[in-house]
Amino acid sequence: MKDRPGDHHRFVLAGGTLHDPAHGRDGVVADLWVEDGKIVAQPADAAAFARVDARGLVVMPGGVDLHSHVAGPKVAHGRRIAPHLARGRRGQAPAAVPTIHATGALYAALGYTTVFDAAIATAAAGIAHAELAELPILDKGIYLLAADQTDVLAAAIRDDRGELRRLVSTAIEVGRGWAVKVANPGGPAFWKRGRRGDHHDLDTPLPGESLTPRVLLERLAEVVTDLALPHPLHVHTANLGLPGNWRTLLETMKSLVGRRAHLAHVQFHSYSGGQLDEGSFGSGVAPVVEFFNASPDLTLDVGQVLFGGTVAMTGDSAAAEHLAHATGVPLVSHDLHLEGGCGVLPIAYKEKNLIHAWQWAIGLEWFLSVADPWRLALSTDHPNGAHFTAYPHLMRLLGDAAFRREALDRIHPRVRSRSPLRGFDREYTLQELCIVTRAAPARIAGLTNKGHLGIGADADIACYRPSRDLAAMFAMPAKVFKAGVLVTEDGQLRATPAGQTLTATPRG
């Protein structure tokens, strides 16, 4: 289907119930005027604008996914390694790792209009962009794993700040990146020296060097701030998936506080317990969220686990190999020019599996314990914790305490009794769901024209039919507009315009 320019060149979306948290509008009935893909003030020549009826619909900005994996070599490996997941739950779910074309259509069908791939090696940026050029509808950007580059690491080791700044700036410009991601700071250095799957804390120097992961994080965060990139350093810290790793996450936050930083998929970094003792595994959220709530410079996304089959893929090769050992599943381990790498393997999360049940409960505990929804982005670390098409189900878990309690009753009995989850009565309001799926991720990512419905905003707009069943409501918007073009309507694809590639310009 082709975009038909002119069809929606100028229109008024009339009488919808607006949720626009950035402007304090919480269920306000108002018209939205759209011209040339932007939201505009009510025009003098209103009669020249087509009228699109939105009466009775909940109107929100388009969704923004600030941490997903949709392109590049590891996603391509994911498509090869798990063809048996091509039909998911109940035979209806899409492929675990959809094609790039299906990815755009499926996101848009949920009301999402922007996505970031959160881990692209600088050496793979060209491939990722070639693939993302084929992603229909959505605006898109990539976070570069600049710290995996040997020369960047060498500059950090020498503490040559000018050179570090120059190299990171060049990586962003040449790789056309939006942000800088660090996956397991210093991890590749340990990995190359044969350290596998075991803890290294932030103060263990890199093999043969004096630089520690903590200092590397601090230097990278400073450089990103110095370059005035729209999004702060995007941190996937050390010891992902390992018992007892809540201490590493807390130490990471302590290192970064006072500088802006974003903590990725914190669910995977919030475990208590000892390494050889599955019985002691549990939640380490409480002390970390307490620190987070008191640290206004920090933001996070959760990386929620939901039950079902999916594919794990990470630039943290050590974590992937550890998971493959623990589950007995073969993995693809892929190196890029002996710098960055990735690990890819299938995984099925089960309600009655002790560890999986803890992961599910720990993610929800994060959502329900963070005091300020503006510092939290909804994510499943797609496809690692769950497929992005499960977002409506996750939104219902957050907004419907009775539904959540029923789900809690089905999981492993030890988690049911030991998780603090049962004590949470909090229900996300529509406004809060709007914040964590669009307003906050847009603001955290540094997208000034997205995540809100003010004048000058991109006309990325999702209209939902209100329902007590939040999963049904958010799974099928009545209408979705991308830059003013109607792209889906009641689950039917209406147009597939090309989206923009979002690139940052480092301060010179």
Residues that bind Zn ion in the complex, under the rule CB under 5 A: 118, 381
Q: Which is nearer to Zn ion, 118 or 305 (CB)?
A: 118
Q: How far is the CB of 238 from Zn ion (least distance, A)?
A: 15
Q: Which is nearer to Zn ion, 73 or 484 (CB)?
A: 73
Residue nearest Zn ion by beta-carbon distance: 381
Q: Which is nearer to Zn ion, 118 or 298 (CB)?
A: 118
Q: Which is nearer to Zn ion, 59 or 331 (CB)?
A: 331
Q: How far is the CB of 466 from Zn ion (least distance, A)?
A: 32
Q: How far is the CB of 382 from Zn ion (least distance, A)?
A: 8
Closest CA to 66 of 434, 386, 391, 438: 438
Q: Which is nearer to Zn ion, 85 or 118 (CB)?
A: 118
Q: Which is nearer to Zn ion, 339 or 381 (CB)?
A: 381
Q: Which is nearer to Zn ion, 74 or 450 (CB)?
A: 74
Q: Please state the length of the chain.
A: 508
- Beta strands across the sheet bearing 341-349: 308-314, 341-349, 332-335
* 240-268 burial code (b ≥16 CB/10 A, e <16): bbbbbbbbbbbbbbebbbebbbbbbbbbb
Q: How far is the CB of 400 from Zn ion (least distance, A)?
A: 27
Q: Which is nearer to Zn ion, 118 or 473 (CB)?
A: 118
Q: Which is nearer to Zn ion, 240 or 461 (CB)?
A: 240
Q: How far is the CB of 315 from Zn ion (least distance, A)?
A: 8
Q: Which is nearer to Zn ion, 143 or 428 (CB)?
A: 143
The Cα–Cα gap between 182 and 261 comes to: 11
Residue 273 has φ and ψ, to the nearest 5°, of 105, 170
Closest CA to 186 of 201, 168, 206, 203: 206
Q: How far is the CB of 264 from Zn ion (least distance, A)?
A: 6
Strand (E) or helix (H) holding 64: strand 63-68
The Cα–Cα gap between 339 and 336 comes to: 6
Strand partners, 461: 61, 481
Residue 94 DSSP label: P
Q: How far is the CB of 491 from Zn ion (least distance, A)?
A: 28
Q: How far is the CB of 144 from Zn ion (least distance, A)?
A: 14
Q: Which is nearer to Zn ion, 70 or 434 (CB)?
A: 70
Q: How far is the CB of 439 from Zn ion (least distance, A)?
A: 22
The Cα–Cα gap between 58 and 19 comes to: 7
Describe the chain by its helix, strand, coil percentages, rounded to 5: 40, 25, 40
Token couple for 507: 């301060």
Count of CA atoms in the C-beta half-sphere (13 A) of 10? 10
Q: How far is the CB of 322 from Zn ion (least distance, A)?
A: 16
Which residues have C-beta within 8 Å of that of residue 369, sequence separation ≥ 6?
285, 286, 289, 293, 424
Q: Are 28 and 454 in contact (CB under 8 A)?
A: no
Ranges of H-type helices in 140-243: 150-158, 161-175, 187-192, 213-226
Q: How far is the CB of 254 from Zn ion (least distance, A)?
A: 23
**Region of residue 91 (phi > 0: left; psi between -120 and 50: alpha; otherwise: beta):** left
Token couple for 329: 């599943």
Q: Residue 296, preceding bond cis, omega within 30 degrees?
A: no
Q: How far is the CB of 118 from Zn ion (least distance, A)?
A: 5
Residue 136 DSSP label: B
Q: Which is nearer to Zn ion, 143 or 481 (CB)?
A: 143
